[in-house]
Structure 1
Amino acid sequence: MKAGNIISFGGKRSGDQGVTLREGYNGTINACRQLLVKFLPQRMDALFERLDDVLYTHADKAGNDKSQAAYFEAMRILRREREQIQSAFNKGVLGRFDRFWTHGPGSVPNDAPDASFTSDELGLVESDDLEEGLAITGMVSKGNNSFYRDLYALDELFSYLLNGTTIGEAGNPLAPASFGAAFKQSMATLEVTLAVKLVIYKQFEKEVIGQLAPLYDQINAVLAKAGIQPEIKPTVRRNSPYRASGSSGYGATAEGAAYAPGEDPGLQAEVFATLQQLLMQRRPATQSVSTSVQYVDSMNLLSALSVLQHQGDQVAAAGQALDAGAMRNALLSMPQIGQAASGKVAIGRSDDDTIDVISMLFEFILEDPGLSDAMRALLARLQIPMLKVAILDKSFFSRKDHPARRLLNAMAQAAIGWTEESGRSGDGLYAHIESAVGRILTKFDDDLTLFDELYEQFAAFLEREQRGAHVAEERAAQVTQGKEALVEAKRHVADEIGHCLSNYGAVPDVVQNLVRDGWNDVLLLIYLRKGRESEEWTDAVNLMDHLVWSVMPKPSHSERQELLRYIPELLKALRAGLAGISYNQHKMTRAFKGLQARHLACLRGGRALESADTDQADEDNQADGAGDVMEEIVLESVDARSAPIESEPDQFDAQARELEVGTWLELTEEDGTVVRAKLSWRSNISGSCLFVNRKGMKVAEVTQQGLGVWLRSGKAEVLPAVSVPLMDRALNSMLATLNRSASTTPGGKKEE
């Protein structure tokens, strides 16, 4: 127990482990605690003060309103919760420090994150918990790497104070893992997005974990003043438990201590360590290791792989990749591996696990429905080069911007729209991917910069190709949108005309013909140019209504006087409107002659006969023409709009309705031809969908209901989202498979 800021040791022995504190050092430990009490609020204040600026910067650079709002909301929440988070964090760290001296190293809660996860904790990589866990493990591993000498010294000093008790990995209450675990617990109830949490953890790494050196120096000084200065062996780097695991050849020295600028060394081996743990759980427990086995050196293994790499075309020609067992057998038979005196040669565990992982990754690639058979076979030839990359650099599994991984993802993403009909020759996509694969097979030894070079070349090709595709796609969308807008305009005009004529009953043929053959186009032009909300549209509709009214019987004197005053204005507006659409002059003259006869009849108090002043045959011809126009309008309207649904909507109709723009489909025609098409545009009016190929050319246009029929019949199959890179999908799938396998092994059976 502690009283105020002083630890009460209650004698010299305490705790379940029976740790014994050396006599006379209670004050020294309390002095160290006071340094910690002073350090924590200083660093947390710095963290929160800096966080406000960092989150504001992220909000300013946010790609959309939703993300921006999330950052601003996080700033508000952090201001509100700051005191509670700081208090919980301080208590967590001090609690670990106090329990260490009263109950021993084992009493420090073993909830500090590390590089491995149990299968239950892991779940699928898509889990937010995994992302958060990797952020914590990254900062912890980086801190361990940066302060390994200080931590090793503190372990030795604390062990001395506890009469030789072994501290053990993660047992030191001042190790980065202790701070990371306490901060994660203090953040547990904070209701912000994962993106915001990752920003906070990154800032915590800079302001707290990255600033531990002064604390360690001060504590070492206090202990040195008390005469506690055990000898630190020069081999500390090799034996220290704080050494970063899984150091790689990519920007790393032989000691594994150096990292390329901008890298996060803590994350380099996290995903691979997780895969190793799951592979271990998957293997039979009866496997044993013989002490007489000689393990293959990684350099010799890489040399053997280089030989296989140049022989790989024979395997890849059939679109097949070597499974892990075949790969091991092939490697162990190579002269580059050599033979042990005992005759027993084996591949080391880390390299052996890498072979398993890469084999599983390429099994996924060969089964990926997003790739055509030809593209699968082409990318499968990269199995051995990617295996060499992974042996050289374990960050291949965790770094999404790794040069080799980035190139593989770019080629796979571009290939999703490619089919055999696209062709393999010339300057097309297949030829560029084939060229890149060929250069890797012939040129790649251990220089990863080759992948950067190939990526830049491939990206430049894609940019050129996509510029042309974008122009073609926009043109196709504009044509389709224009067609739909015209059909919709015709439908609205037809509705307006029908409504107007139905209000007056029997309308003379000459007016019906004039409205449907002439004024129809006037209304259509105004609708397309100005819209239904415009003043011009309202005036034109009102004029049509007045035209029909003008030829209806006028029994009262006042009505006839009103008609007499209105006729000049009506005829003038009609003539101007029809001239605006270049209406046939002969038809206009005949129509106005017919109107004159009807207006005279109305002014006399009656209505002229249908045949008056007009040749009946001409009017019949005009009526037939009007019928053709209306038939065209009706037919186009029905074609653009979905027919009534006779059955209840099912999951395929829902899938068609929810399909996002940018989604790729594989369409199988009746003759067996396979076409890949992207949903480029969907109408907000009718729901009709426009599909284009990878060059932006129109492939199909179908109603939403028709798309549901395609999906239901199997004519259309949705391909994996191209927004999720191939390597990410492969890792997700593989981890899920290993997870399920591990949970059913004898050591991890599922609960019934």
Structure 2
Amino acid sequence: MKAGNIISFDGKRSGDQGVTLRSGYNGTINACRQLLVKDLPKQMDGLFERLDDVLYAQADKAGSDQNQTAYFESMRMLRLERVAIQSAYNKGILGRFDRFWTHGPGAVPQQASGASLSCDELDLVESDDLEEGLAITGMVSKGNNSFYRDLYALDQRFSYLLNGMEIGEDGNPLAPATFCTAFKQSISMLEVPLAVKLVIYKQFEKEVIAKLGPLYDQVNATLAKAGILPGIKPTMRRNSPYRSDDSSSRSSAADDRAAYVAGDNPELQAEVFATLQQLLLQRRPMPQTPPGSVQYVDSGSLLSALSVLQQQSDSAKTPAGQVLDAGAMRTVLLSMPQIGQDGSGKVAIGRSDEDTIDVISMLFEFILDDPGLSDPMRALLARLQIPMLKVAILDKSFFGRKDHPARRLLNAMAQAAIGWTEESGRSGDGLYAHIESAVSRILAKFDDDLALFDELYEQFSAFLEREQRGAHVAEERAAQVTQGKEALVEAKRHVADEIGRCLANYSSVPDVVQNLVRDGWNDVMLLIYLRKGKESEEWGEAVNLMERLVWSVMPKPSHRERQELLRSIPELLKGLRAGLSDISYNQHKMTRAFKGLQARHLACLRGGRALDEVTDTQSEGAGQSGEAAGGMEEIVLETVDAQSAPVDIEPDAFDKQAEELAVGSWLELTEEDGSVIRAKLSWRSSISGSCLFVNRKGMKVAEVSQRGLGAWLRSGKVVLLPEVDVPLMDRALNSMVVTLNQSLAKKPGGGKEK
């Protein structure tokens, strides 16, 4: 609870989670809250000021009067609801912050997952909700990625204040997820088209999520000044993806990005080129020519020669995508007139440029060997060898900056290409055509302006975003259908088990009841299980009614039992009729079943002496019961067999690999006809372990059990592809360092030249 703008810490301990605040820091926590109180109005003011202009621009570009009217109407609604939206937004965030200190990281309940539904009901999921959810997820992901260092420091300091309680994912009250969730709830009152809502979310991402850095800096500084883990290193924030047009801002941003990378991994990032230079120097033989007699080529002449080679390769457009090794590249360059040999002495390439040629050649040799790329994609990306060599000579930070424009573009194209195969096609507006277009523009236009790579990256990212949005929708629907099918199978199994348990309690159940339970009440229970779940009150009532039905047709020797039956029959028949009507049970079948029940009930009310007078009850009941028991036995045997089968064969390394394969992993599947499919593990059942695979368009391509996946791996039918989350350049540079170290380890003397 809070009084005014101050959090009340009376009763520091919560009964639910046992939250205990470290004493002496109440004032510090309130100081952090005041920073939040000051920052929230600035966030919303900046958003609404810019949002009006953005929506007006969208209306101006609208293709129809209807769309234009929708944008203008949305602008009017936003102006009217601005105060309410800001109030709800502030209340949501401050409430989350306050509850964190009184109830702990898990104070905000997560959105409950929907109850299990049937396949038909799952198809009704609105794609608009899915689109909105994807927009929120994207914002949270970008925010976490941009400010992960700041959030890590806040997690540690908040955990310290809670006496070591683990914060957990999205448990931080200042995490991007908090701001995104609060904003989503604050604009839920707006009845605007999805297209407008997505524009609003995009602007919120730019104006609020991308600008959380200063708030994080102030809160971390306040906590550190109060003596809360001051030893945590100062944060180096990733630069926001929304760059200013001001050139000085771009320069400052570049410095910030370089600083961030330097702190990320000193050996393989900021100092990666120096590391590779050291390894190459140890491997390279000592020069035989005295240094004084060598004329070194300046970088300008080298770049001119490379530009000529680039134009030649663009004209030839060699489909094979062959790369030149370092020796061949040096030979070709030194033979070109742009180098300017004048016969005054031996010409050589300087050490730094020579090292760059070596590293780029090794990089593209790695690309040609990368199993994550299909042959056509390898050939396409290999054509970038000379442009990337020019980039590396112009800017040595290419090897150390993860966000270098050229490196970023190369990584994005390689990552997108992992799911592409020849069957996807090369023409039209597809992935191959976009990558080919980007490569062709680089070969034709790139001289020394690195801004071209930024432009191409933005265009390629926009294409991927459009494509991935559709793929996400298709993938979600494929997963929902598969989950629905599995939920249906699980529900049928559970209902069958419940019916079998009920009937097994009696030695002989008349056929009229067996038929009614298996043919009608089975579906009633199935529908309740799917809609409400087995923990629901409705499920318990359905099971109880089935048990009372079976009990009602059993002999009643005592007067008390007959009286109890007489009292219960009206309610029993009413419940049966209501349940069967809900599933639209056949009226003729229902009438026959109720007549049969009436005869059984009359027999029971006579004390059991007239049971034999019911036509063929015993004989038919025994026969039907035996038949039904046989059917039930079949179900039980199937279930047991399915569960025990994996025990028959001891799981091996392939089964373990299948079990541990992470969702999102890509693999290459070879069909019986020799065709190759690339598929991503989209979903794994927590019940059966069944695995759903989709292509890069999000369409289902395979569904296999966990055992089946292990068999695929064992037979070589599938091959795992490199991790998508590890960029191509990172994998290449790591591989190069390992390769160079291994080659040096094999040399006599531990790698030193003799």
- Give TM-score scaled by structure 2 length: 0.65
CA deviation vs aligned residue, 1:515-567 (integer Å, no higher than 9, x gap): 00011011111111111111111111111111111111111121112111111
Query: Residues 373, 610 of structure 1: CA spacing in aligned structure 2 closer, same or farther, 3 A cutoff?
Result: farther
Mapped pair 1:283 → 2:287: no
Q: Write out per-residue CA displacement over residues 680-702 of structure 1, whole angstroms, 9 at most, x where no aligned residue.
A: 11111111111000000001111
CA distance in 2, matches of 1:489, 1:451: 54
- Among residues 691, 694, 703, which one is paired with 2:693 in the alignment? 691
Letter of the 2:281 counterpart: M
- Show CA shifts across 1:268-323 (max 9, x none): 96221111111101112465544211111111111110111122254842232110
Give the 3 Å change call, closer, same or farther, for CA 384–642 of structure 1 in structure 2.
farther
Which residue matches 1:73?
A: 156
Distance 1:442 1:479 in 2: 47
Structure 1: distance between partners of 2:365 and 2:288: 25
Q: Does structure 1 conserve the Cα–Cα contact (< 8 Å) formed by 2:508 and 2:625?
A: no
User: Which residue is equivalent to 2:301?
Assistant: 300
Which deviations, in whole Å up to 9, do the C-alpha atoms of 1:556-593 show, x marking residues without a partner?
Answer: 12111211111111111111111111111111111111
CA distance in structure 1 between the partners assigned to 2:600 and 2:579 by the alignment:
21
Deviation of residue 713 (structure 1)? 0.9
Is residue 710–residue 716 contact of structure 1 (8 Å, CA) maintained in 2?
yes
The question of whether the paired residues in 2 share the 8 Å contact of 1:598 and 1:608 is answered with no
Q: Which whole-Å CA distance do the structure 2 matches of 1:559 and 1:693 have between them?
A: 63
- Aligned residue for 1:645, secondary structure, equals helix
Contact 1:652 1:709 in 2 (8 A): yes
CA contact (8 A) 1:295 1:345 kept: yes
Helix, strand or coil at the partner of 2:692? strand
Q: Shift in Å at residue 490 of structure 1?
A: 0.4
- Quickly say closer, same or farther: Cα 1:392–1:611, change in 2 above 3 A: farther
Shift of 1:340: 3.3
Corresponding pairs, count: 534
CA distance in structure 1 between the aligned counterparts of 2:270 and 2:653, rounded to whole angstroms: 42
Matched, 1:402 2:404: yes
1:594–1:614 Cα contact (<8 Å) kept: no
- Partners of 1:687 and 1:469 lie apart in 2 by 23
Look up the SS of the partner of 2:701 in the other structure: strand
Q: Which residue of 2 aligns with 1:200?
A: 234
Q: Work out the CA distance in 2 between the residues paired with 1:663 and 1:510.
A: 53
Q: Check conservation: 2:510, 2:621, Cα contact below 8 A.
A: no
Query: How far apart are the structure 1 equivalents of 2:407 and 2:232?
Result: 23
Residue 429 of structure 2 is matched in structure 1 by 427
Which residue of 2 is the match for residue 510 of structure 1?
Answer: 512
> C-alpha distance in 2, partners of 1:357/1:542?
74
CA distance in 1, matches of 2:718, 2:424: 19
CA-CA distance at 1:660 after TM superposition: 0.9
Are the structure 2 counterparts of residues 638 and 323 from structure 1 closer, same or farther at C-alpha, using a change threshold of 3 Å? farther
The partner residue of 1:379 within 378, 381, 386 is: 381
TM-fit CA distance, 1:739 = 1.8
Task: Give the distance between the partners of 2:484 and 2:348, measured in 1 at CA.
Answer: 68
Rounded Cα–Cα distance in structure 1 between residues aligned with 2:557 and 2:618: 27
| CA distance in structure 1 between the aligned counterparts of 2:587 and 2:252, rounded to whole angstroms | 88
Q: For residue 343 of structure 1, report the CA deviation from its aligned partner.
A: 4.3
**How many Å separate the matches in 1 of 2:679 and 2:625?**
44
Give, in whole Å, the separation in 2 of the partners of 1:279 and 1:428: 40
Output one character per residue of 1:88-141: Cα deviation in whole Å (capped at 9) or x when no partner.
xxxxxxxxxxxxxxxxxxxxxxxxxxxxxxxxxxxxxxxxxxxxxxxxxxxxxx
Q: Using the TM superposition, give the Cα deviation of residue 603 of structure 1 relative to its aligned residue in structure 2, in angstroms.
A: 1.3
Closer/same/farther in 2, CA of residues 288 and 578 from structure 1, 3 Å limit: same
Residue aligning to 1:454: 456
Instruction: Give SS of 1:455's match.
Output: helix
| Post-superposition CA distance 1:593-648 (Å, at most 9, x none) | 11111111111122666893589999999999979996997799689868443211
The change in CA–CA distance for 1:259 and 1:285 in structure 2 (over 3 A counts) is: farther
Q: 2:329 aligns with which of 315, 327, 330?
A: 327
Question: Aligned equivalents of 2:638 and 2:432: distance in 1?
Answer: 41
Following the alignment from structure 1 to structure 2, what is the Cα–Cα distance between the partners of residues 67 and 594? 73
User: 2:733 & 2:253 partners in 1: Cα distance?
Assistant: 24
Cα distance in 1, alignment partners of residues 638 and 465 from structure 2: 39
Q: Distance in 2 between matches of 1:517 and 1:67?
A: 61
Rounded Cα–Cα distance in structure 2 between residues aligned with 1:66 and 1:618: 75
Unaligned runs of 5+ in 1: 1-48, 81-191, 204-250
Aligned to 2:258: 264
Q: Distance in 1 between matches of 2:722 and 2:488?
A: 35
- Tell me the distance in 1 between the aligned counterparts of 2:715 and 2:231: 45
Q: Secondary structure at the match of 1:701?
A: strand
The residue correspondences of 1:104-123 to structure 2 (distance < 5 A) are none
1:724 is displaced (CA, Å) by: 0.5
The aligned residue for residue 721 of structure 1 is 723
The letter for the 2-side match of 1:382 is L
Contact 1:640–1:703 (CA under 8 A) maintained in structure 2: no
The residue number in structure 2 matching 1:538 is 540
Q: What does 1:551-630 align with in structure 2 at a 5 Å threshold?
A: 551-606=553-608, 612=614
> Within 5 A, what are the aligned runs for 1:673-684?
673-684=675-686
Provide the rounded CA distance (Å) in 2 between the counterparts of 1:369 and 1:350. 31
Cα separation, 2, equivalents of 1:352 and 1:273: 13
8 Å contact from structure 2 (residues 366, 732) kept in 1: yes
SS of residue matched to 1:667? strand
Tell me which residue corresponds to 2:53: none
Residue identity opposite 1:710 in structure 2: W
Matched AA of 1:576:
A
What residue in structure 1 maps to residue 531 of structure 2?
Answer: 529
Cα distance 1:601–1:73, how it changes in 2: closer, same or farther (>3 A)? same
Q: Is the alpha carbon distance of 1:628 and 1:299 closer, same or farther for their aligned partners in structure 2, counting shifts above 3 Å?
A: farther
User: AA paired with 2:362?
Assistant: M
Greater shift, 394-403 or 625-634, is seen at: 625-634
Partner AA of 2:155 in structure 1: F
Question: Kindly, what percent of the aligned residue pairs are identical?
Answer: 75
2: CA distance between counterparts of 1:737 and 1:338?
35
2:149, 2:305 → 1: CA distance?
52
Q: 1:666 — aligned with what?
A: 668
| Cα distance change, pair 644–201 in 1 and its aligned pair in 2 (3 A) | closer
Distance in 1, matches of 2:305 and 2:508, equals 94
Distance 1:288 1:743 in 2: 27
Aligned Cα root-mean-square deviation (Å): 3.8
How far 1:705 moved relative to its partner?
1.0
Q: Deviations over 1:632-672 (max 9, x none)?
A: 97799689868443211111111111111111111111111
Q: What is the letter of the counterpart of residue 395 of structure 2?
A: D
Give 1:40-439 correspondences, 5 Å limit.
71-73=154-156, 199-200=233-234, 261-264=255-258, 267=262, 270-285=271-286, 287=288, 289-312=290-313, 314=316, 316-439=318-441
Q: Does the 8 A contact of 2:511 with 2:624 survive in 1? A: no
The structure whose Rg is larger is 1
Separation in 1 of the partners of 2:669 and 2:632? 36
User: Which residue type is aligned with residue 428 of structure 1?
Assistant: G
Question: What SS does the aligned partner of 2:434 have?
Answer: helix
TM-score by length of 1: 0.65
- Name the CA distance, whole Å, in 2 between partners of 1:382 and 1:610: 91
Alpha-carbon distance between aligned partners in 2 of 1:278 and 1:388, rounded to the nearest angstrom: 22
Corresponding residue for 2:468? 466
Residues 259/68 of structure 1: CA separation in 2 closer, same or farther (3 Å cut): closer
Q: Structure 1: how far apart are the matches of 2:609 and 2:434?
A: 79
Conserved? CA contact 1:667–1:677, under 8 Å: yes
